[in-house]
Chains A and B, each alone.
Chain A
Amino acid sequence: MAEMWIHMGPQHPMTHGLWNLRIKVDGETITDAVPELGYLHRSVEKIGERRKYFMNTTLTDRLCYASAMTWTHCYCLTVEELMGVETPQRAKYIRTIVLELQRIASHLMWLGAYLPDLGLITGFLYGMRDREMFLNLLEIPSGGRLLYNYVRIGGVKRDLPPGFAAKAERVMQTLEQRLKEYEDLYDNSKIFRMRTDDVGCYSASDAINWGITGPNLRSAGVAFDLRQADSYDAYPELDFTPVTTSASDGISDCFSRYRQRIDEMYQSMDLIRQALAKMPEGEVMADSVPVRASGEAFRRTEDSRGEALMYLVGDGTDRPYRWKIRSPMFTTVSASPHFLKGYKVADVPAIMGSIDMCIGETDK
């Protein structure tokens, strides 16, 4: 059988963004794969050098649009480290709450995008419906639906309004009920199981070597969560252990990645409840935030998709000298040929969907 190359992208319903996957097939079996990126390269790192520190939150919001809050937070954390700013305690708790809300919204977005790939169109409608509840919740303090610009250097933009906790509780209770429904619906669905079980497998040791992080790594049974390992904000004061799943010992497949994200949503809701209960009173913004900075700093946070790391070099002016972003998906996509090889062409949407692509952060 002659081998040939197939292009999937840049406009392809599988891609969930703007990239191109070239696969080499022998009949129906994938023998090689080459991901191609760069269709969305906006040169954020370069134009960030032309803007002042506080202006760059506009760009970081748009890095990963499905999870804007976490990226702005990572940037603000790095700049605070660089400038030596101490965030007030209440702001830390508020950050924790909105980060977890954002994580749930991002995972629901993933759920809504993943299931139609596998032929469950209702999944899209359910996912989007529930995501809308969380967007409305995040809109209350920030005023934005998708991009918030809420986390600022030195704290957050404004305090949570009264009654937020009650609203959040109501939304979370609804989601809990619905998640149970979805689990009944999908976990036992024959179509879903046939397309996800034992598809796109990789082992934990391989994943670590390839640089895969976040839910994709934890779904192989590795209990590594930066919220705990390199803790920030209010996470040290909350009580949690990283959730893990795995298909079999130390192996991750599409189904375990799905389970991982569902379980993380439960965990996030638990964290939000804890944070809302423990939240102290006080200011939400640091008294004075310097404009200039020098030296270098980096911080890493647990983004919805994995390890986000930002490295900043300041030269004493009010603009960064060098700004480097580590995107978790950039590394994961680079590893994708390893876990695509040997599967069928029809498995490509199932595998590439399950790692939760976000091209905005990948192409920078």
Chain B
Amino acid sequence: METGKLIQQLGKHKGTSNSSALRSNVGCISVTPEASSAFFTALKEDFAFDHCSLISAVDNQSGFELVYHFSIVGESGQMLEVHVDLPRDTPTIDSITHLWGGADWHEREAYDLMGIYFIGHPDLKRVLLPDGFAGHPLRKDYVYEIHEEEW
């Protein structure tokens, strides 16, 4: 499917906004966290995005932003970037692990390093840092001691 047509159709879904085309085969769209679950299901079932590439969490100071990258495994290499804005005090969103198995550890990593909670994730615990680590280090307000020495 062409990117223009794709984002046009996706834009009809509830809770979507700001749809645009980034490159010839890459689209971009924003979704509200409430509508995200239904949107992702449609993405998987109706639009055949069968590969979840990456889930990145961005700390925007005022809130968090989740950026999903989905792609189609096929000749076209069609990609879609989905932005979801989350409030700073309750950064929660529905898990997509049941749709894309590959999203499992990406969600765990976002929880580990950024402190985003994924509702419905089967095993949401730290993946890179040791258990009992205090805080979520990739947040901008995380401070740590740097052993800076005099040169």
A touching B, CB within 8 angstroms: yes
Residues of A close to B128: CB separation below 8 A = 37-38, 41, 363-364
- Determine if A309 and B101 form an interchain contact, defined as CB atoms under 8 angstroms apart: no
Per the bound structure, the CA–CA distance linking A38 and B125 in Å amounts to 13
CB distance from A201 to the nearest CB of B (A): 16
Residues of B close to A307: CB separation below 8 A = 53
CB distance from A208 to the nearest CB of B (A): 5
Instruction: Say if the beta carbon of B74 comes within 8 Å of chain A.
Output: yes
Interchain CB contact (< 8 A) of A322 among B56, B73, B126, B127: B56
- Determine if A211 and B25 form an interchain contact, defined as CB atoms under 8 angstroms apart: no
Interchain CB contact (< 8 A) of B50 among A37, A45, A209, A298: A209
Residue of A nearest to B105 (CB): A334
- Determine if A326 and B54 form an interchain contact, defined as CB atoms under 8 angstroms apart: yes
Q: A46-B138, A224-B74, A229-B76 are in contact. Are A38 and B69 (CB under 8 A)?
A: no
Q: A211-B52, A230-B77, A230-B79 are in contact. Are A309 and B105 (CB under 8 A)?
A: no
- Determine if B100 and A43 form an interchain contact, defined as CB atoms under 8 angstroms apart: no
Q: A37-B127, A311-B67 are in contact. Are A229 and B53 (CB under 8 A)?
A: no
Chain A interface, DSSP helix/strand/loop, else mixed: mixed
Residues of A close to B74: CB separation below 8 A = 224, 229
Instruction: Say if the beta carbon of B75 comes within 8 Å of chain A.
Output: yes
Residues of A close to B113: CB separation below 8 A = 45
Contact with B along A228-263 (1 / 0, CB 8 A): 111000000000000000000000000000000000
Per the bound structure, the CA–CA distance linking A45 and B59 in Å amounts to 13
Q: A43-B137, A309-B69, A322-B59 are in contact. Are A211 and B127 (CB under 8 A)?
A: no
Instruction: Say if the beta carbon of A330 comes within 8 Å of chain B.
Output: yes
Residue of B nearest to A312 (CB): B56
- Determine if A229 and B77 form an interchain contact, defined as CB atoms under 8 angstroms apart: yes
Instruction: Say if the beta carbon of A210 comes within 8 Å of chain B.
Output: yes
Residues of B close to A43: CB separation below 8 A = 137
Instruction: Say if the beta carbon of B102 comes within 8 Å of chain A.
Output: yes
Per the bound structure, the CA–CA distance linking A328 and B23 in Å amounts to 23
- Determine if A330 and B129 form an interchain contact, defined as CB atoms under 8 angstroms apart: no
- Determine if A331 and B58 form an interchain contact, defined as CB atoms under 8 angstroms apart: no
Residue of B nearest to A211 (CB): B102
- Determine if B105 and A331 form an interchain contact, defined as CB atoms under 8 angstroms apart: yes
CB distance from A2 to the nearest CB of B (A): 24
CB distance from B142 to the nearest CB of A (A): 8
Number of A positions contacting B (CB below 8 A): 38
Per the bound structure, the CA–CA distance linking A103 and B100 in Å amounts to 29
Per the bound structure, the CA–CA distance linking A206 and B73 in Å amounts to 13
- Determine if B130 and A46 form an interchain contact, defined as CB atoms under 8 angstroms apart: no
- Determine if B53 and A309 form an interchain contact, defined as CB atoms under 8 angstroms apart: yes
- Determine if A210 and B79 form an interchain contact, defined as CB atoms under 8 angstroms apart: no
Per the bound structure, the CA–CA distance linking A255 and B126 in Å amounts to 34
Interchain CB contact (< 8 A) of B56 among A230, A300, A311: A311
- Determine if A298 and B100 form an interchain contact, defined as CB atoms under 8 angstroms apart: no
Residues of B close to A330: CB separation below 8 A = 105-106, 109
Residues of chain B from 114 to 129 with CB closer than 8 A to chain A in the complex: 126-129
Q: A229-B75, A230-B79, A313-B58 are in contact. Are A326 and B53 (CB under 8 A)?
A: yes
Residues of B close to A208: CB separation below 8 A = 50-51, 73
Residues of A close to B77: CB separation below 8 A = 226, 228-230
Residues of chain B from 29 to 47 with CB closer than 8 A to chain A in the complex: none
- Determine if B102 and A335 form an interchain contact, defined as CB atoms under 8 angstroms apart: yes
Per the bound structure, the CA–CA distance linking A4 and B67 in Å amounts to 40
Residues of B close to A292: CB separation below 8 A = none
Q: A324-B56, A326-B54, A331-B106 are in contact. Are A210 and B69 (CB under 8 A)?
A: no
* Supplied contacts A206-B101, A229-B74, 11 more A-B pairs, CB within 8 Å: A46-B137, A209-B102, A211-B52, A211-B102, A224-B73, A230-B77, A298-B69, A309-B54, A324-B58, A331-B105, A363-B128
Instruction: Give 4 closest A-B pairs by Cβ, nearest first.
Output: A211-B102, A229-B77, A324-B56, A334-B105
Residues on B close to A: CB < 8 A? 25, 50-54, 56, 58-59, 67, 69, 73-77, 79, 81, 100-106, 109, 113, 126-130, 137-138
Question: Mind listing 7 A-B residue pairs with CB under 8 Å?
Answer: A38-B127, A209-B100, A210-B101, A217-B73, A311-B69, A324-B67, A331-B102
